[in-house]
Amino acid sequence: MKIAITGSTGLIGSRFADLFKDKHKLFHVNLSSGADITDRKALHGLLSRANPSLILHLAAKTNVDGCEKDKNSDITDLKDQGVYVNNEVDLGSLKTENWKDKTTAFAVNVVGTKNLADWARENNVKIIYVSTDFVFDGGKEDLYEEIDDPNPINWYGQTKLWGEKSINDSGLIVRPAYPFGYKSLAKKDFIWTIIELLETRDSIKLISDQIITPTFIEDIAMGIDFLIEKGTLGIVNLVGNDFLSPYEIGMLLAQEFSLNKAKIGKISMDEFYSGSAKRPFKVRLQNDKLRNLGFEMTDFYEALKKISSKSRT
């Protein structure tokens, strides 16, 4: 299938591109090849010439604290443009040309996504949008299902949610969380950050009260391909099977990579992120929908074993 892929130089996108470069005909929509998703006119021209059968959209501004720094200027611009009322954006009235070449969270995550989604709708092409668990506030005691109401608590999550709202019913939204995998040249994921800290520092502190749903990048890439084959529409939580604190993850990493567990101390989420953008507290996403469709995710420790055995070869 001819797929226009955005974000293929990033952590998840680069792995999808590598795994599926022979199966699919990939058309890369990347900044490095001169394609900025905030530039609607150029983007639409490029897509029309490429004529893909599917858009896989992974590009985003993913730096959560960097996104938070954009919040005030984004809101000021939205108010000046008359499209920001009661903390909501009127996506239908948004003049996307006002955001061309901007690098803020709103420009990339909302306008960029809307530019892609509008082209997909106008040309009857399916779009798959890679969203995030950060659309939730992390306050739910039970597991989050696809039907739960989002309530983002930081600007990254808010802009990703508005991105979701740009996707119509004939698209697919997948929500991975805390991606980790084999060592990547594209970006260091959170497990490799912990491993490197354990190797280089005398002691480190990891959050013990926050719960996250780590997701093996191999599963994200294979899961997306599976959902393409199935033709699934709507929203799917594309997350791992285990719910763990960063502290528990650090202990498992130390065990699997033969690092010193005694170096790891505990810290609360509030203290760790003091002065940073808020993070969801307990974001346990349920993956039953994906399992019922026929796709099994890898258990966290199994994935770690695969990663450590590959890193030894």
Ligand X SMILES: NC(=O)c1ccc[n+]([C@@H]2O[C@H](COP(=O)([O-])OP(=O)(O)OC[C@H]3O[C@@H](n4cnc5c(N)ncnc54)[C@H](OP(=O)(O)O)[C@@H]3O)[C@@H](O)[C@H]2O)c1
Contacts to ligand X by CB under 6 A? 6-7, 9-13, 30-32, 36-38, 58-62, 108, 112, 130, 132, 160, 176-179, 186-187
To the nearest whole angstrom, how small is the minimum distance from the Cβ of residue 65 to ligand X? 13
Residue 215 or 254 with smaller CB distance to ligand X = 215
Q: Cβ distance 241 to 299 under 8 Å?
A: yes
Contacts of 269 (CB under 8 A, 6+ apart): 207, 209, 210, 279, 281
To the nearest whole angstrom, how small is the minimum distance from the Cβ of residue 221 to ligand X? 10
Residue 76 identity (one-letter amino acid): T
Residue 84 or 178 with smaller CB distance to ligand X = 178
To the nearest whole angstrom, how small is the minimum distance from the Cβ of residue 290 to ligand X? 15
Give me the helices (H) in the chain, please.
11-20, 40-50, 64-80, 105, 112-122, 155-166, 190-200, 217-230, 246-256, 269-272, 288-293, 300-311
Q: Cβ distance 277 to 160 under 8 Å?
A: no
Q: Cβ distance 233 to 291 under 8 Å?
A: no
Residue 38 or 154 with smaller CB distance to ligand X = 38
Q: Which residue number is nearest to ligand X in terms of Cβ?
A: 10
- C-alpha–C-alpha distance, residues 135 and 173, integer Å: 12
To the nearest whole angstrom, how small is the minimum distance from the Cβ of residue 185 to ligand X? 11
Residue 24 or 61 with smaller CB distance to ligand X = 61
Residue 57 or 205 with smaller CB distance to ligand X = 57
- C-alpha–C-alpha distance, residues 210 and 280, integer Å: 8
To the nearest whole angstrom, how small is the minimum distance from the Cβ of residue 282 to ligand X? 16
Q: How far is the first Cα of the chain from the last one, in angstroms, to the nearest whole number? A: 33
